[in-house]
Structure 1
Amino acid sequence: MQIHHIEGYIQTILLVEYPDKLLLLDGGCRCDVPVIEAFITDTLQRNVSDLKLVLVSHMHPDHAGGAHLLRKNIGCKIASVSFDRQWYQGFNGRVAHTIDLMLSLYVASRKGKKFKNIYYHPDLKPDIILQDQTCVPEFDDWIVHFTPGHTDRDLSFLHQPTQQMYVGDLILKLKNKFTSPFPIYQPETYKQSLNKLLELNINKILMAHDGFSEISPDDIQRLIVKSTVRPLTVGKVVKHKLKGLIKNKKSH
């Protein structure tokens, strides 16, 4: 088993290679699909049909954005968690979907990337429904763990033989320091998810935005202590900024 790190539009694409099959840890952005396909055919010198499964940790554009298109192009399956309600369901969900697309494009611009089409359908239609603490179908060396907080349905995936855990956006690394993601919809649940890493004795993580890193229990504990105690969302940040602007205008 070998894990390849591919530079995506705004994130690290992690492709797991086996002698007879390939596994993708998150689907990347829609515009990453040609990059993934080219890596398989040109770099690995393999057929794209070797990609058997795309895991989706949560519904944000850089994680779920390429999943449906990969399935359409290649015929691979999509595996994720199932909820009665889609993450982007209803009018408010569609607004959130638009905001998340715009935020992703903003991140891309900050990285010096050109504008690309990253639109994807807001409703995920997985072929395989994943359950907490079970093996990933066809890849039983990977174990599914529910680690919500960033959203209500985040998944992480533990590779048992090497004890590396793909944590998606559960943990980020900025300027060589571990930090919590933005947004955090469920702060208490987020802390519980970090505690799960401590319980599992995780010290090697694969992150969606920085790839592999070693992490200590103290690092994880610091994240728990410093993490927000209230939901930290785009709407709340904008509301706070507007209140500050109004207050400043009144004071003048």
Structure 2
Amino acid sequence: MKALTGADIVSSEQPKAWYAGIDGVAMHLTDLVLAWYMANRMGKPKRNLWYRRKLKVDHAVVDGDTLPHFDDWQVLTTPGHTDRDISVYNAKQSTVYVADLMVEVKQRLIAPFPVFHPNQYRNSIDKIYNLNAEQVLLAHRGPVSFDEKAKQHILETAPRRPVTHWRVTKIKLKSLVKSLLARG
């Protein structure tokens, strides 16, 4: 995207890169598969979604900063899905863009996969709800209604323990081993 548009890359200020280490390689590949899966579910044509694992951040931001080049948009740290998720809020337009802090499936708002920090995730949902924004914009979707009922559904259905790539893989492997041992 940067090469195509010249856009700057903005990320939450963090001590290490998102896809760092061996776990990062697995997460990067999983995220690519999830992106392909979502595009397929949305009826988008198949195309190469590959992006570099190591991103060069142009602007590291913290809660309360203004978005570089867009002084009317305020950065809100909204961790939980990951440790570095941010949303951006325009008070004049009463609009908040939450990226994939929440996703819509079967006309209901739910938590995304993965959720690394469930307690932080719940706090982020409350933070967005308490803005009372007239428009809540999601990645891959656009504006949604984020009322008390939608908030309660997310909080009731969101995981209470981390649900991550590695945990899901371990659970699947344990299940496979148990089924193999039961046969044998």
Name the Cα RMSD after superposition: 2.1
Deviation, structure 1 residue 250: 4.0
> How is 1:86-235 mapped onto 2 (pairs within 5 angstroms)?
86-235=17-166
TM-score by length of 1: 0.65
1:69 counterpart = 2:3: yes
Aligned equivalent of 1:79, options 10, 22, 42:
10
Name the SS for the 1:151 alignment partner.
coil
Give the whole-Å Cα distance in 2 for the aligned partners of 1:183 and 1:204.
25
Counterpart contact for 1:172–1:180, Cα < 8 Å: yes
Task: Tell me which of the two structures has the higher relative contact order, counting C-alpha pairs closer than 8 angstroms and 6 or more residues apart.
Answer: 2
Amino acid at match of 1:211: G
Name the SS for the 1:145 alignment partner.
strand
Give the whole-Å Cα distance in 1 for the aligned partners of 2:165 and 2:91.
36
Aligned to 2:178: 247
Counterpart contact for 1:203–1:216, Cα < 8 Å: no
Name the SS for the 1:144 alignment partner.
strand
Q: Gaps (5+ residues) in structure 2? A: none
| % same residue | 37
Amino acid at match of 1:183: P
Amino acid at match of 1:241: K
Q: Quick check: which one's strand share is greater?
A: 1
Deviates most, 112-121 or 147-156 = 112-121
Query: What whole-Å deviation, never above 9, does each CA across 1:77-136 have from its counterpart, x for those lacking one?
Result: 332222220001123212321222233233334445554222222222222232211222
Give the whole-Å Cα distance in 2 for the aligned partners of 1:76 and 1:106.
26
Amino acid at match of 1:212: P
Counterpart contact for 2:110–2:153, Cα < 8 Å: no
Distance 1:75 1:111, change over 3 A: closer
Counterpart contact for 2:11–2:84, Cα < 8 Å: no
Give the whole-Å Cα distance in 2 for the aligned partners of 1:246 and 1:93.
25
TM-score by length of 2: 0.87
Deviation, structure 1 residue 251: 4.1
Name the SS for the 2:119 alignment partner.
helix
How many residues align structurally? 183
Counterpart contact for 1:142–1:159, Cα < 8 Å: yes
Deviation, structure 1 residue 193: 0.5
Deviation, structure 1 residue 197: 1.6
Distance 1:156 1:214, change over 3 A: same
Query: What whole-Å deviation, never above 9, does each CA across 1:50-85 have from its counterpart, x for those lacking one?
Result: xxxxxxxxxxxxxxxx3x323xxx433332222220
Aligned to 2:169: 238
Q: Gaps (5+ residues) in structure 1? A: 1-65
Amino acid at match of 2:85: D
Distance 1:115 1:149, change over 3 A: same
Distance 1:154 1:240, change over 3 A: same
Query: What whole-Å deviation, never above 9, does each CA across 1:122-154 have from its counterpart, x for those lacking one?
Result: 222222232211222332221110001111100
Deviates most, 165-174 or 135-144 = 135-144
Query: What whole-Å deviation, never above 9, does each CA across 1:1-48 have from its counterpart, x for those lacking one?
Result: xxxxxxxxxxxxxxxxxxxxxxxxxxxxxxxxxxxxxxxxxxxxxxxx
